[in-house]
Structure 1
Amino acid sequence: MPGGRLSHQERRAIAAGLNDGLGYAEIARQLDRPTSTISREVARNGGGRGYRADHAHYATSSRARRARPQTPQRPSDTDQYAERFATIMVEGGLPRMAARVLARLYTADSRSLTAAELVTALQVSPASISKAIGYLEQVGMLHREPDPRRRLQHYVMAEDVWQQAWKISSRTNLDWAETAAEGAELFGPDSPAGRRLAQMADFFGQLADDMSGGPGFDVIDDALTVLAAYREAGRVIEDERAAAVLGWSVDRVKTALELAATTRLSPEQRADLAAGAE
């Protein structure tokens, strides 16, 4: 007795037998099939009056394709790299999903990605993406841009994303130092808890100072802001004019350019400043 799936020809024989008024047992005998096979085939595909051989054959094939397990796609080299990149950021203290989103944005061909694209790429729920986006927006590492043609939001990574991350880490260390110092004062310098907290305050206070670059760190931001004003104007503008535009004092403009150009800017930033001063 043959086994396996019914062929297209067998289904045509079943349809012909039903049209001739034959019972399931007789059709099964003619096809050398179990009666149960014929009865299930007819029941699944329209019943005795509605059975159509062609429709039954293609419908069964379609069900089989849907039921066939899909072979999972092997992650590409870029996908694997993005996940390794995210792991490094997680080890540095970034929440895991936020790190995965940031890694995808950093390695994408496009300058931005939508929530749907992130859901597809990371194979997670929209809620997980939304939570990660909210965190990254809160700390200034990305922002939203509306799509002018469709009702979509594009997520764009901040150009100074790592500077923002550095500042956040520095502020966190400063918060720890201040909280520990408050505790040391509360418990008293002679108590065990006070001594431990005072030591902690000194450590994180020094770490925050080191990370912020000391008193001249903000000069970098000031210098780049002045440079941006130069670029916007298309020329070097007088210190007094720059101060008026930015709402700063003239001394602040001069100090930012003089100190930052010689101490705390990268070679690329110094080159930009030199070009702006020409």
Structure 2
Amino acid sequence: MPGGRLTQQDRQRIAAGLADGLSYAEIARRLDRTTSTISREVARNGGPSGYRPQQAHQATVQRARRGTRTPAPPRAAGVPSGAVEEEIIELAVRSGMPRMTARVHVDLLLSEDGRRTAAELTRRLNVSPASVSVAVNFLVEHGYVRRERDPQRRRDIYVIDDDAWYHSIVVSSQQTLASAQAALAAAETIGLDSPVGQRLSRAGTFLERVIQDMRESADRWRSLLT
């Protein structure tokens, strides 16, 4: 069973893994640790962008000498801990979402009213405005959030609400449907009597039917979000 205290060398390898863009799961595998061990270590020592192995090790040694654990800052009732937030981010990354985009998405998702400005996201995540801009553009494009305009302060507000899940499925299905239609068109061009044409036709038809079922299911269960 993986376990034991993290060593200074372990922490250096964690920092190297973060710098290389590795997932927590991959870093954990290389260190023979659990993913939750890595996510807790990073969350309590500056987060993915602020993790410093030397400072993290010194802080752990000091806590051990005092025989106390670092007190967690007070959190609103029902808000997940930092480790849980990191786990949610990790799941999003595994599904293919860029890490920075996942961080922005989860921060919006866990906000009390599901609303943040770009400036708030920049400050909360301690990242550049450009990074936030790229992330929110991705989220808006894929239907995960919507953009609202504050006419009084002339700024954009990014909003995630329950219906966002429905819209994200619709956007995703439209993109997949376009691929299916492209495959079917290519099959017609190449010729349905050829092996390649038949292969493309089967793939396009399969994707088209699956997307149709998914859209019908999303429409049928959309009322659960209201």
TM-score clears 0.5: yes
1:174 touches 1:208 (CA, 8 Å); kept in 2? Answer: yes
Could you tell me how far apart the structure 2 residues matched to 1:112 and 1:130 are? 15
How far residue 152 of structure 1 moved from its aligned partner, in angstroms, is 4.7
- Structure 2 residue 124 is the aligned partner of structure 1 residue 92: no
Report Cα offsets for 1:253-278 as digits up to 9, x if no partner. xxxxxxxxxxx357757xx8xxxxxx
Match of 2:13 in 1: none
Report Cα offsets for 1:222-258 as digits up to 9, x if no partner. xxxxxxxxxxxxxxxxxxxxxxxxxxxxxxxxxxxxx
From the superposition, tell whether residues 268 and 188 of structure 1 become closer, same or farther in structure 2 (CA, over 3 Å). Answer: closer
Instruction: Name the % identity.
Output: 33
Report Cα offsets for 1:72-107 as digits up to 9, x if no partner. 698986333223222222333434332221111011
Output the TM-score relative to the length of structure 2.
0.56
Greater Rg over alpha carbons, structure? 1
Output the TM-score relative to the length of structure 1.
0.47
1:111 touches 1:156 (CA, 8 Å); kept in 2? Answer: yes
Cα RMSD of the aligned pairs, angstroms, is: 3.3
Match of 1:143 in 2: 147
**Code of the aligned partner of 1:133:** V
Higher relative CO (Cα under 8 Å, sequence separation at least 6) belongs to: 2
From the superposition, tell whether residues 80 and 142 of structure 1 become closer, same or farther in structure 2 (CA, over 3 Å). Answer: farther
Could you tell me how far apart the structure 2 residues matched to 1:200 and 1:151 are? 47
The structure where helix makes up a greater share of residues is 1
Could you tell me how far apart the structure 1 residues matched to 2:104 and 2:82 are? 12
How far residue 135 of structure 1 moved from its aligned partner, in angstroms, is 1.9
Could you tell me how far apart the structure 2 residues matched to 1:266 and 1:127 are? 34
Describe the SS at the equivalent of 1:213: helix
**Code of the aligned partner of 1:78:** S
1:143 touches 1:158 (CA, 8 Å); kept in 2? Answer: no
**Code of the aligned partner of 2:180:** A
1:137 touches 1:143 (CA, 8 Å); kept in 2? Answer: yes
Report Cα offsets for 1:32-81 as digits up to 9, x if no partner. xxxxxxxxxxxxxxxxxxxxxxxxxxxxxxxxxxxxxx956989863332
2:166 touches 2:222 (CA, 8 Å); kept in 1? Answer: no
Match of 1:202 in 2: 205
Could you tell me how far apart the structure 1 residues matched to 2:156 and 2:210 are? 38
Could you tell me how far apart the structure 1 residues matched to 2:82 and 2:117 are? 17
**Code of the aligned partner of 1:96:** R
Could you tell me how far apart the structure 2 residues matched to 1:158 and 1:175 are? 27
1:143 touches 1:157 (CA, 8 Å); kept in 2? Answer: no
Match of 1:55 in 2: none
Could you tell me how far apart the structure 1 residues matched to 2:223 and 2:182 are? 37
